[in-house]
Chains A and B, each alone.
Chain A
């Protein structure tokens, strides 16, 4: 068990080399989406409203950690499984299943953290109310881990690229808009608002907004996020151990 951190880095070595080769492309693709959100929602729709910009930036950070975490992990695994057959090499290595799972998450976690931090730094320049606190960093970390795990699970279960794209369209994209990232969900009909509450991005948005504004964190959100982490991890574990991919 004590080898797991070292094994995670060993598993991730290939992905980290890939990221090194494509550093500029990785950074650009991580930042373009969040910057467009900031431009369109922060400046296009509510021009000059600094209060709204302070509101929307933690939401954009949450979207960024979700998109980066999910897409990095899922796409790489789908390519390795279905096109390069190199995922078998991971399964053949004498390592714990947890190391394989978290090793495949590492690139998504790094991308999620870097993207989120850049957006937060930009936000701090634009509006004085935001702070990068240790709690915010922890919130970004746990959010990136959760969505990277979801990406690994989706990458393992998708039997084609269109299936993964469909998952992205029906789960990830609606969450980006509906989970309190860009507007207050209390204005939604109660049924929709209840559904939205159950989605993981609502809770990462909630804790990021609280930690960036130095407000008390809703601990129910922390519990819900940890429950999602456990569920996504368990799915990955079962799929790998039972070779259901």
Chain B
């Protein structure tokens, strides 16, 4: 029985250990229906492990997950029906053609062959895949493989789409196309959980961002809220020896005033803060 509660994706006290390493350490997440939720953090922060637990690929050592109200431990089949996943690593069957991969995914999602073909046509039109349907996946470039993976993940029209670093390794054109597509599917009501280590991607796409570091959620909010917490403007001073210091100010005027007090031989710039600054301020290191 699906549980009513806030958040189409909910996780409570998630913990995952690999030997002595705690990859995810007591994570609580709640993502609302229709949101694009960005999960931002450096490599090795625990993003992929979290996605694997949220999508039932990995069992948490502690904690629970609900997808659309279904407990992923006891009602994993129902939970899986609600989600599509684009994994960081290409997970298509490289021995099969594009068409066979898509049909296989559709059949595994319990679609009939007729429905599968209909959905395949719709989605391959959108992703401009029609000319590649007969090609073996192993012959495709990274960008084309990603398009096939997207079609596969959306074939059953899921309510939630998990995307684990979807634009990593893509060229600019493919990345722009993917961003456009993410916005389009979100407009149609699909909730998106997107992990990334690209600041600009998180800022420009996401309604809300959770920042993860060493397995812990260290901040959460809209990109604006997160930046406001630090200060809207960053005063960057670079000393003649190359040492850089950054201080944050609520508004431009205060930042300008503060810049007057800096040594004259420093090179000074004032810019709007970004999520990298938020991460830097919270952890003392860059993403």
Contact = CB atoms under 8 A, between A and B. Distances in A.
A10 B108 contact: yes
A85 B104 CA distance: 15
Interface of A: 3, 7, 10-11, 13-14, 17-18, 21, 80, 84-86, 88-96, 242-243
Contact of B107 (A3, A13, A88, A243): A13
Interface string B58-96: 110000000000000000011011010101011111111
26 contacts: A3-B110, A10-B108, A11-B108, A13-B100, A13-B104, A13-B108, A14-B101, A17-B96, A17-B97, A17-B104, A18-B95, A18-B96, A21-B96, A84-B91, A85-B87, A85-B91, A86-B91, A86-B94, A89-B91, A92-B80, A92-B83, A92-B85, A94-B77, A95-B110, A242-B59, A243-B59
* Interface size range on B against A: 20 to 34
A95 B93 contact: no
Nearest to A76: B95
Given A92-B56, A95-B77, A86 B109 contact: no
B258 interface: no
Nearest to B84: A92
B108 A93 contact: yes
A86 B77 contact: no
Contacts of B107: 10, 13
Interface of B: 55-59, 77-78, 80-81, 83, 85, 87, 89-97, 100-101, 103-105, 107-110, 152
B107 to A, nearest CB: 4
Contacts of B100: 13-14, 17
B59 A90 contact: no
Contacts of A7: 110
B90 A85 contact: yes
* Chain A interface main SS type: helix
Contacts of B93: 14, 18, 80, 84, 86
Contact of B81 (A18, A90, A94): A94
Given A84-B93, A88-B57, A93-B108, A13 B103 contact: yes
A12 to B, nearest CB: 10
Nearest to B89: A85
A90 B108 CA distance: 8
B108 to A, nearest CB: 4
A59 B97 CA distance: 38
Contacts of A88: 57, 87, 91
A111 B152 CA distance: 29
B122 to A, nearest CB: 20
Nearest to B97: A17
Contact of A89 (B59, B105, B110): B105
Contact of A92 (B55, B59, B96, B110): B55
A85 B92 CA distance: 8
A17 to B, nearest CB: 5
B79 to A, nearest CB: 8
B56 A91 contact: yes
A72 B9 CA distance: 38
A92 B162 CA distance: 12
A91 B57 contact: yes
Q: Which of B55, B78, B92, B104 has the most CB of A within 10 A?
A: B104
Closest 7 pairs between A and B when the two form their complex, measured CB to CB: A93-B108, A94-B80, A10-B107, A85-B91, A94-B81, A14-B104, A17-B100
Given A84-B92, A85-B87, 5 more contacts: A11-B108, A18-B93, A18-B95, A21-B95, A95-B110
Contacts of B110: 3, 7, 10, 94-95
